[in-house]
Amino acid sequence: MAAELKKLADNFLEDQSSWEPSLFLGAVRELVDREETSAVLEILQNGSYKALVETVAWDLLPIITPHVSDTETNNDVYKDSAQILNDLAEIGKPKEMILGYLEQLDRFLDDGTYRILLKPLSTVLMRFGLTKSHQMNQSFILLHTHLQTAKVRHHPVLVSGLSEFMCNTQNKS
């Protein structure tokens, strides 16, 4: 199956116009389901496939995200999936990725997933720079909402600091 994924990735390099992303995404889903995430990670980290990764990054998020939950029992799959999410944040199109990560955060799978998604979300936000305040504001609103609904007994400073930030941000809007 890993060889098939590489072949599909190579087909993208040869002829992008006739390339079918659903075949590639299906192969990724099958590999992830078979707990062969290292093969997916290898393709994503190969610089030759950067254009391919940019094309499918948004679509990979819902396939990979469930494998960084607290219920994932295979530690290698968990680590590979977390790394894949980090790599996608660096390579994917920022506008798509910010929406994709916010969508995944909004699913509230569990607190473990939420913690893992904060790093790639931060990476995407930093790729925007400070000129994209709307995306940052939406991200902070979503984070604030999650922290308000989650049991965050251990981080009262974080919750109060984010609440203060949100008030200041909304007053400036």
Lowest pLDDT segment from 42-56, 81-95, 127-141, 152-166: 152-166
What was the pLDDT predicted at 150? 58
Report percent pLDDT > 90 for the chain.
50
Q: Tell me the two tokens of residue 73.
A: 């029992």
Distances from the Cα of 15 to the Cα of 4, 10, 42, 92, angstroms: 16, 9, 21, 20
Q: Are 37 and 72 in contact (CB under 8 A)?
A: no
Instruction: Provide the mean pLDDT of the chain.
Output: 83
Q: What is the pTM of this model?
A: 0.77
As a whole number of angstroms, the distance between CA 65 and CA 77 comes to: 11
What was the pLDDT predicted at 147? 65
Reported as a single tens digit per residue, the pLDDT across 103-114 is: 898 886 788 888
Reported as a single tens digit per residue, the pLDDT across 108-131 is: 678 888 889 989 988 888 887 655
Where are the alpha helices (H) located in the chain, listed in sequence order?
Answer: 2-14, 21-33, 37-45, 50-64, 75-91, 94-106, 111-128, 133-149, 156-172
pLDDT band at residue 18 using 50, 70 and 90 as cut-offs: confident
What was the pLDDT predicted at 86? 97
